[in-house]
Amino acid sequence: MINMVEKVKKTAKKVRRKKQSKACDTSVLSWFNKNTLHHSQFEDIDRLIELKKQQNLKISVGIPTLNEEENVGHVISTIKEALYNKKHFVDEIAIIDSSSTDNTVAVAEKAGAKIIESKRHLREFGAFYGKGENLWKSLHVLRGDIICWVDADITNIHPKFIYGLAGPLLEQKKLGYARGFYRRAIKFKGKTISYGGGRTTEIGVRPFMNLYYPELTGFIQPLCGQAAGRRKLLEKIPFFVGYGVEIGHLIDISRKFGLDSMAQIDLGEVEHTNRETSALGRQAFSIMQVFAKRLSEREKVEFLNKFCSVFRFPEIREEEGKPSEYFLNEKEIIERERPPIKTLPDYEAKKRMDKDALSKIADFIRDSKRRHRFPEEKWQNKK
């Protein structure tokens, strides 16, 4: 009798798990169908500008950089000409630089971008090198209510990278975050043959998401660097300082705000620099640290958070006429985590100061326009 009861309990557990799995699959499929959008849906810039005015929002573009002198000027000038000069859709364009040793800063400044040197901001919290560090600090300096981040190495940059990401946030108030996806411009017999995510995504990240984060499996390119978010959402989530920032965002936003607060946008075809295979190991190592950290918090399993932070990788050096040399290199990689920027006292103080300064500037402009329109009033006041 006891054995029969135990069998019934086990069977019930299996049924519940199957139901939960099906429910999860259904919700992901529903999200995928509703929240997978195309950039062409948002190409009417005038309509987006009107929505932006109605909602009294400002849009900032942040470009994280490290030695990107060859292409960063092209990225900035393309966005500025189309979405700042011709159409005033974007209010601010800036690079967030990780102490580049080439002419990145000079090129960006000449192209008309604001320069944010990452290490000079929030010094009391230290400085780390990494894309995530730059994105976190960009929230402290940029003024926009919507922040768009694009990479500096996209050679076929197009305004759609900005309006395609910001457009959904203007049209749908329930959305707080938009992540891009694209087709890589790898040609074979006249056709683009590379779809979906990159090597790190397909070999490492996607299997892990299917195992532990099935709710995120609808993202076509979870590591895509092109994204936009509302400040009100971004300031409430932590940022990993390195390669783990993108996957960290998806996990934390889904957990805190729900899957339906996010969308993914087809940005078409992208031409950009591909990393060497050796660099992908370090990228994957950082991302696995994020997975382990978040799983340890969720499952309350301490051993997941106790991992080795030293990444070892073999290297073979070959010179003509000499025997091959073999080395085992190692590099410490720690995916540090920045707290939600809203928790910093300096951030709230800066927001208040910026608001006061902007209102004073607005008052000055209004007074200047009034004096220009009514010069006789100015003359009477002097008299």
Nearest of 91, 90, 200, 23 to residue 209 by alpha carbon: 200
| pLDDT computed for residue 241 by the predictor | 96
- The model carries a pTM of 0.80
What's the rounded Cα separation, in Å, for the pair 100 and 68?
8
Residue 134 has pLDDT above 80, yes or no: yes
Residue with tokens 């557990």: 13
What's the rounded Cα separation, in Å, for the pair 354 and 143?
8
Question: Domain residues of the chain, as ranges?
Answer: 13-304+335-343, 354-383
Q: What is the mean pLDDT of residues 138-161?
A: 96
Q: Take residue 142 and report the two structure tokens written for it.
A: 């940029």
Helix extents (H) in the chain: 2-35, 45-54, 72-80, 104-111, 131-141, 160-171, 199-200, 206-212, 231-234, 245-257, 277-299, 345-373, 375-382
Residues, the chain, total? 383
DSSP state of 40: G
140 neighbors 231 (Cβ within 8 angstroms): no
Residue 148 has pLDDT above 60, yes or no: yes
Residue 24 has pLDDT above 70, yes or no: no
Q: Beta strand 227-230 with 146-149: parallel, antiparallel or unpaired?
A: antiparallel
Angle at 71 between CA 242 and CA 165, to 5 degrees: 65
What's the rounded Cα separation, in Å, for the pair 58 and 61?
10
Three-class HEC string of 216-277 = HCCCCCCCCCCEEEEHHHHCCCCEECCCCHHHHHHHHHHHHHCHHHEEEEEEEEECCCCCCH
Sequence letter at residue 170: L
**For residue 349, how many other CB atoms are within 10 A of its CB?**
10
Q: What is the mean pLDDT of residues 167-171?
A: 98
Cα of first residue to Cα of last residue in the chain, in angstroms, is: 106
| pLDDT computed for residue 156 by the predictor | 94
Q: Which residues pair with 181 in a beta bridge?
A: 266
231 neighbors 146 (Cβ within 8 angstroms): yes
DSSP state of 202: I
CATH 3.40.50.2300 fits 13-304+335-343, yes or no: no
176 neighbors 169 (Cβ within 8 angstroms): yes
Give the residue with greater pLDDT, 363 vs 299. 299
Rg (CA), the chain: 24
Residue 137 has pLDDT above 50, yes or no: yes
Of the listed ranges 213-217, 223-227, 230-234, 239-243, the one predicted with least confidence: 213-217
| pLDDT computed for residue 339 by the predictor | 93
Band of residue 346 on the pLDDT scale cut at 50, 70, 90: confident
| pLDDT computed for residue 318 by the predictor | 74
Helix extents (H) in 45-151: 45-54, 72-80, 104-111, 131-141
DSSP state of 342: G
Band of residue 2 on the pLDDT scale cut at 50, 70, 90: very low
What's the rounded Cα separation, in Å, for the pair 189 and 289?
39
How many Cα atoms are found within 13 Å in the side-chain-facing hemisphere of 371? 11
Residue 190 has pLDDT above 60, yes or no: no
| pLDDT computed for residue 360 by the predictor | 61
| pLDDT computed for residue 260 by the predictor | 97
83 neighbors 157 (Cβ within 8 angstroms): no
266 neighbors 182 (Cβ within 8 angstroms): yes
What's the rounded Cα separation, in Å, for the pair 90 and 78?
12
Nearest of 159, 292, 305 to residue 213 by alpha carbon: 292
| pLDDT computed for residue 331 by the predictor | 76
Residue 355 has pLDDT above 80, yes or no: no
